[in-house]
A and B are shown apart, each in its own frame.
Chain A
């Protein structure tokens, strides 16, 4: 794939991800408290109203502006959530409370209807037709109690149970002790084949993508290298047998010369020359800058002088 296609693909992916992040179907009505008591939540005007809590179950931000709340199945557009307020953008795993004051002019987070036991509350998508979620309020619900959906899987945020509870406005409705991933897998995948298959695929995909990205990004460098290799092979095939290769004896002689205490600069020069001569497997771009740090130890810090002589 060419680099051009890559550049087209990346923005397309980003756009699709962003589009997914705006999906109102990830919203749920997580809790409803229809009849307030003296301990209930007070709104911005100091009044205790019933309230409806919405929760964003997704990992992305969802804008609830333009969606509707209603308690009447035949009037789905009863109470529209303002589109003009930026605070209607609900972050991942965030909740928001709407006060059922019956007067929407109180603010963005107020509904045009009051809550009554025995009704069902609906959340309607911004098209005004699609039902996103609903929650039925039992008729005999005591004052100060709420009806809430609880998540027993904190990771997947699957709200599996709906029951009466003490109100927890704007808080995550964790249902007691959550099931850990290991417990869930012990139940769903006791032999481990699914996890193995998925994990192996993910590892391969991650590294495959890395390979593909690098192969695509440095295509020209790879091509150049292949061409150089071919040219080198052809040259080698045509050229006469090489003379004067450094054989074992020569290498040993050079090593002995280095060992015999030549000057640092001489040693560095021989070292560099040998590196360039012998390095047929070099693959790094070396700077070939040799820094010589002379041993400047004094009597005080010279390790060798401070060693105790070994008694033989």
Chain B
């Protein structure tokens, strides 16, 4: 009898109940919250569901030494986590993004590319604020990249610069990307007049196949020579796009933009979620990171819209840009472009801004990868 009780006691020690703390339950509740929001509101479900479930997995209290935890060398989760830790999931996702992205909007109106540059101010605004809050420059750079509104880039950079903060940074980046419509709309309305919102932009021209093929090659050469440290992201992005546009590698493009990106997205979401273990995630720094992440989105949107307004001062009538597409420079493809479309239609049912907004939107992807490369070059 005594032996049975001993065995039961020993078994109890292995259970989650014996090893849990209130922080674990908080994290599990956050994970369930993510899943709920993703299913009910359909906010970034492809990411929030894996991240949410990963949070639940990562916060199941367990007996240490069983070699199953994400931070235990050689465990299954740890092996999958290497893609995040070593930074090879994000470039693979960029390959898929490149194979999905149509750069026509940008090629037909190359002037819109600068909106993508202006919106990167969110990154550097958050960098300055992070330094002011006492973060080290490498941590500040990793936090700043949340303003790029690009999950893979945020994971890539934070895994290199501040691995300890990666969980909070990734969750913050994806959360705010899901909240883009909520964050951006009031800023866009506050910064624009009714007259500006009604600006109709000229129809973009047709883009030939030749231009679409040349774009990834020239785009890559230009950006990679200026910022070689952004090579993994930029190389994969433009390579993926070349697969799509070349017209002779459709199978590869389909795989990159379909099954491959799905697999990697699932793994990156799940493992990032798992990495947010309560003892590492529930800290004062995480709260600061969430605050700074929000501010970075606000700064990025504000700078994008204000940049267009400033540019309009110098543009002739008929060539003016609707400032409602300024927000799209923050990347977050295609959500922020969709916000431009929706807000534009609120004021003029015939004013479709989606294709115009896609220009700065994809420029934002390039811009955030370039910014990540610069930060990595300086702070790595």
Contacts and interface: CB of A to CB of B under 8 A. Distances in A.
Contacts of B352: 281
B136 A186 contact: yes
Given A203-B120, A207-B367, A283-B206, 13 more contacts: A181-B380, A182-B137, A182-B141, A196-B124, A204-B114, A206-B117, A206-B367, A208-B114, A217-B218, A218-B211, A228-B205, A284-B104, A285-B209
Contact of B222 (A186, A192, A206, A281): A206
A195 B127 contact: yes
5 contacts: A202-B227, A209-B226, A214-B110, A215-B111, A225-B205
Interface string A192-228: 1101101110111111111101110110011011001
Given A195-B127, A281-B203, A284-B102, A210 B222 contact: yes
B328 interface: no
Give the interface residue-count category, chain B: 35 or more
A284 B206 CA distance: 5
Contacts of A213: 218, 222
In the A-B complex, list the 10 residue pairs whose CB atoms are closest, starting with the nearest. Answer: A225-B205, A182-B138, A283-B204, A214-B110, A207-B117, A196-B124, A185-B137, A182-B137, A211-B110, A192-B131
B371 A199 contact: yes
A218 B222 CA distance: 16
Nearest to B215: A214
Interface string B21-50: 000000000000000000000000000000
B367 A203 contact: yes
Contacts of A259: none
Given A209-B222, A281-B355, A283-B206, A202 B379 contact: no
Contacts of A229: 202-203
A18 to B, nearest CB: 15
A10 to B, nearest CB: 11
A185 B104 CA distance: 39
Contact of B107 (A191, A202, A218, A281): A218
B227 A196 contact: no
A282 interface: yes
Contacts of B330: none
A280 interface: yes
A142 interface: no
A191 B132 CA distance: 7
Nearest to A286: B206
Contacts of A204: 114, 117
Contact of A284 (B207, B218, B223): B207
Given A203-B117, A209-B226, A221 B205 contact: yes
Contacts of B370: 202-203, 206-207
Interface in B361-380: 363, 366-367, 370-371, 374-375, 377-380
What is the predominant secondary structure among interface residues of chain B facing chain A? Answer: helix
Contact of A200 (B114, B120, B219): B120
Interface string B121-137: 10110011001100011
B355 A207 contact: no
B371 A203 contact: yes
Contacts of A215: 110-111
Interface residues of A, number: 42
A276 interface: no
B345 to A, nearest CB: 13
A68 B123 CA distance: 50
Interface in A155-214: 180-182, 185-186, 189-193, 195-196, 198-200, 202-211, 213-214
Interface of A: 180-182, 185-186, 189-193, 195-196, 198-200, 202-211, 213-215, 217-218, 221-222, 224-225, 228-229, 280-285
B130 to A, nearest CB: 8
Nearest to B132: A191
A60 B104 CA distance: 37
B321 interface: no
Nearest to B202: A229
Contact of A210 (B110, B132, B141, B378): B110
Contacts of A221: 205, 208, 211
B108 A283 contact: yes
B374 A199 contact: yes
A178 to B, nearest CB: 12
A213 B355 CA distance: 22
Contact of B223 (A191, A210, A217, A285): A210
A229 B215 CA distance: 24
A222 B205 contact: yes
A207 B114 CA distance: 6
B128 A193 contact: yes
Most chain B beta-carbon neighbours within 10 Å: one of A182, A185, A202: A182
B233 interface: no
B128 A192 contact: yes
Nearest to A284: B104
Nearest to A208: B114
A59 B375 CA distance: 20
Contacts of A280: 203
A206 B137 contact: no
B367 A191 contact: no
Contact of B226 (A181, A200, A202, A224): A202
Interface string B98-113: 0000101101101101
Given A207-B370, A214-B218, A283-B108, A199 B207 contact: no
A31 B104 CA distance: 56
B214 interface: yes
Nearest to B219: A210
Contacts of B111: 211, 215
Contacts of A181: 137-138, 377-380
A198 B377 CA distance: 12
A202 B161 CA distance: 20
B208 A190 contact: no
Contacts of A196: 124, 127-128
